[in-house]
Chains A and B, each alone.
Chain A
């Protein structure tokens, strides 16, 4: 796991509950080490449900709940989890949270759950979440781990929302179902709501991200 290393610039000074690493932790997931843009993790749902902004938003919210919940719970249990069953424990926690969300959507937001199909349940296999639990939650205190969960979930969500908005706009000419680009002058590009469009849009998004972030020496030991 490459993401467990402390970042270069420690804030230092008096150590609160966040050990002076609050801002850095928040920015890591949100920007410098964004789960999708940098690590290219968890892209299955990022590609599958982003053909509409509404489904992207619900998926983002579901991942937020599961990710934050998981890092918090795993961190609070980090001293009592036996080394040998730590992955099983993390998976049990993730699965439980995901099924809670899945049932919630099926019971109270049926229409959107129908549109998301199996992808809510598939959050269980979103490696970003297990990655944060294993790489961060197990080693850090509860407030910091919760913040790490929030940060990565927001980082993940922002990519999902941008992808969802772009693909819906270009692919259907609408945003949240409301017509933005009228068919009289804009011919919707159906490619954008199909799977290949997802890959193309994600590629452009990652390229744009790298362009904004600027060049950097590639020293990460990508697994």
Chain B
């Protein structure tokens, strides 16, 4: 039937046209899209470490600063980033992840040169309840970690770890106030944090 032939040819042409438009646009934007993805990760690491970078930096500029001032290292399968360009020793940043209440949480933990004192922390990707658990992404929560300790002095693996207490009860150097109304998120954050702390103490601290 000539009618079927027309339908088939028509469909094929539409398919080819659409595919070529997409392939063209896709390859034109690919380098930008990939740079953005990498830059996003890099930006979080640098922000937590306190590396200064231009606020309006493009993805490429960010990656340049990153490559200049930081060094990717590996300890026994654990990837971390050393801030070799720092003026106060060599702080490190360790990306980690865990599961939250509604979805995965991605975070970065930065430690001072002693690798015991927290320099900063950021939960940069999370789907916690807006207004409650999602507050883990705010500086109101993350700033409470600054200066806290992940393990007792001379502590061994197993003794390390932190506690996220109910709101307004944190006192010790290894305690941080949880978020009011977000106990489940706080519990999960505590668990993922302690998993990575144990890892750091076992793998990175040994190689100081």
Contacts and interface: CB of A to CB of B under 8 A. Distances in A.
Interface of A: 51, 80-82, 84-85, 88-89, 92-93, 95-96, 99-100, 103-104, 106-108, 110, 114, 171, 188, 190, 193-194
Contacts of B29: 103-104, 106-108
Nearest to A106: B33
B140 interface: no
A96 B130 contact: no
25 contacts: A80-B10, A82-B3, A82-B10, A85-B10, A88-B11, A93-B14, A93-B18, A96-B21, A96-B22, A100-B22, A103-B25, A103-B29, A104-B25, A104-B29, A106-B29, A106-B33, A107-B32, A107-B33, A108-B32, A110-B36, A110-B40, A114-B40, A188-B131, A190-B132, A194-B129
B103 to A, nearest CB: 11
A99 B40 CA distance: 21
Contacts of B25: 99-100, 103-104
Contacts, number: 63
Given A92-B14, A92-B18, A85 B7 contact: yes
B14 A89 contact: yes
Q: Please indicate which of the listed interface residues B15, B36, B40 has the most CB atoms of chain A within 10 Å of its own CB.
A: B36
B26 interface: yes
A96 B18 contact: yes
Contacts of B26: 99, 103
Contact of A193 (B3, B10, B14, B130): B130
Q: SS class of chain A's interface: helix, strand, loop or mixed?
A: helix
A190 B18 contact: no
Q: SS class of chain B's interface: helix, strand, loop or mixed?
A: helix
B22 A106 contact: no
A82 B130 contact: no
A106 B29 CA distance: 8
A110 B11 CA distance: 34
B77 to A, nearest CB: 29
Contacts of B40: 110, 114
Contacts of A188: 131
A6 B44 CA distance: 55
Contacts of B59: 110
A190 B131 contact: yes
A190 B15 contact: no
A194 to B, nearest CB: 6
A114 B36 CA distance: 10
B37 to A, nearest CB: 8
Contact of A103 (B7, B14, B33, B132): B33
A86 to B, nearest CB: 10
Interface string B120-131: 000000000111
Nearest to A195: B130
B180 to A, nearest CB: 12
Interface in B19-41: 21-22, 25-26, 29, 32-33, 36, 39-40
B130 A194 contact: yes
